[in-house]
């Protein structure tokens, strides 16, 4: 799922110092079973009763709620592609003919996690976003497109993305932020190694993946369904265990044409 993040800043502050255990101890996990809202397409006042909300990193968190900060960590937003091409062209994934590898559904160029050096360079960019999330008052980050290796035309592996996700998670934990695994059931077995604390899923009801995520994260799962049938499946099997919301696929703000925001 794409959001509206703008191009990154260039300065990269050093991570906070201190023992890793102390840093992880500052992390606050999202509440299990809390009503959830997904606001990537624009911020608005959450429906009554919502306890957890996910917003783009350029938005402000909601006072009194648990706020998840969305960052597109594995692909370049369309409106940020020029920034990447000007500043870090070597970090864009390219075919042998030097053409960019594009996620056709969202028009996003994939970022290149294929080597340790490129992962480190990407982590320096993403660190700025993570730090900004913490400074803004968010409690967690949601690094999106963890599954970009599935669209990489064989140029990236699951292991490449897991290794990069680990770097992002370390930075987030150093900032006192929890880290959500975004989709990608294939990586559930590596969740502890990577450093994930909870999961944000899209259509786990539709794809029959709710059980795996719920069991792995002890019900600390926040699911978005984009169809009535998916909502029915998720609610029918999992409403007593995980948090579920039905949104329109473009996750537009309340009051916009096409806006949908329902739950079980």
CATH code: domain of residue 131 = 3.20.20.70
Rounded to whole angstroms, how far apart are CA atoms 19 and 107?
40
Q: Which two tokens stand for residue 135?
A: 């400074």
User: Which has more pLDDT, 103 or 1?
Assistant: 103
142 in a domain, yes or no? Answer: yes
| Cα distance between the two ends of the chain | 22
**Cβ neighbours of residue 130 under 8 Å, at least 6 residues apart?**
69, 71, 141, 168, 171, 172, 175, 177
With a cut of 60, say whether residue 91 has pLDDT above it: yes
- 158 CB neighbour count, 10 Å cutoff: 15
79 in a domain, yes or no? Answer: no
190 in a domain, yes or no? Answer: yes
CA distances to 37, 66, 93, 215 from 205, rounded to whole Å, are 16, 23, 32, 14
CA distances to 12, 112, 225 from 88, rounded to whole Å, are 14, 11, 35
Q: Which two tokens stand for residue 190?
A: 């590596």
With a cut of 50, say whether residue 12 has pLDDT above it: no
172 in a domain, yes or no? Answer: yes
Q: How confident is the model at residue 96 (pLDDT cuts 50, 70, 90)?
A: confident
Q: Count of domains in the chain? A: 1
Q: How confident is the model at residue 24 (pLDDT cuts 50, 70, 90)?
A: low
Question: If you average pLDDT over residues 169-184, what whole number do you get?
Answer: 98
For residue 182, what are the β-bridge partners? 200
Q: How does pLDDT run across 122-164, given as a tens digit for each residue?
A: 999 999 999 999 999 999 999 999 999 999 999 999 999 999 9
pLDDT at residue 97, rounded to an integer: 86
Smallest CA-to-CA distance from 13 within 147, 156, 131, 181 is with 131
200 in a domain, yes or no? Answer: yes
Q: Which two tokens stand for residue 179?
A: 């880290």
Domain extent, residue 179, equals: 22-73+112-262
Q: How does pLDDT run across 33-84, given as a tens digit for each residue?
A: 999 999 999 999 999 999 999 999 999 999 999 999 999 999 999 999 999 9
pLDDT at residue 43, rounded to an integer: 98
Q: Which pTM was predicted? A: 0.91
pLDDT at residue 25, rounded to an integer: 59
197 in a domain, yes or no? Answer: yes
247 in a domain, yes or no? Answer: yes
User: Which has more pLDDT, 98 or 253?
Assistant: 253
103 in a domain, yes or no? Answer: no
Q: Which two tokens stand for residue 19?
A: 């023992």
Q: Give me the chain's average pLDDT, please.
A: 93
């Amino acid at each position: 799922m794409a959001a509206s993040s703008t191009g990154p800043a260039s300065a990269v502050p050093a991570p906070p110092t201190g023992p890793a255990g102390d840093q992880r101890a500052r992390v606050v996990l999202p509440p299990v079973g809390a009503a959830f809202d997904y606001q990537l397409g624009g911020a608005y006042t959450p429906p009554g009763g919502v306890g957890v909300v996910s917003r783009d990193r350029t938005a402000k968190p909601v006072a009194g709620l648990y706020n998840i900060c969305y960052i597109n960590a594995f692909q370049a937003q369309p409106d940020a592609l020029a920034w990447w091409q000007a500043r870090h062209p070597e970090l864009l994934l390219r075919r042998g003919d030097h053409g960019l590898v594009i996620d056709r559904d969202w028009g996003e160029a994939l970022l290149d996690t294929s080597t340790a050096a490129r992962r480190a360079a990407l982590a320096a960019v993403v660190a700025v976003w993570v730090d900004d999330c913490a400074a803004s008052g968010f409690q967690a980050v949601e690094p999106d497109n963890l599954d970009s290796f599935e669209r990489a035309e064989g140029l990236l592996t699951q292991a490449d993305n897991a290794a990069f996700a680990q770097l992002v998670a370390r930075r987030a934990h150093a900032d006192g932020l929890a880290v959500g695994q975004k989709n990608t059931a294939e990586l559930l077995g590596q969740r502890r190694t990577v450093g994930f604390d909870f999961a944000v899923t899209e259509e786990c009801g539709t794809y029959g993946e709710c059980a795996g995520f719920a069991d792995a994260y002890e019900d600390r799962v926040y699911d978005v369904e984009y169809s009535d049938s998916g909502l029915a499946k998720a609610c029918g099997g999992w409403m007593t265990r995980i948090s579920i919301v039905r949104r329109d696929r473009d996750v537009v703000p309340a009051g916009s044409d096409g806006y949908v925001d329902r739950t079980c």
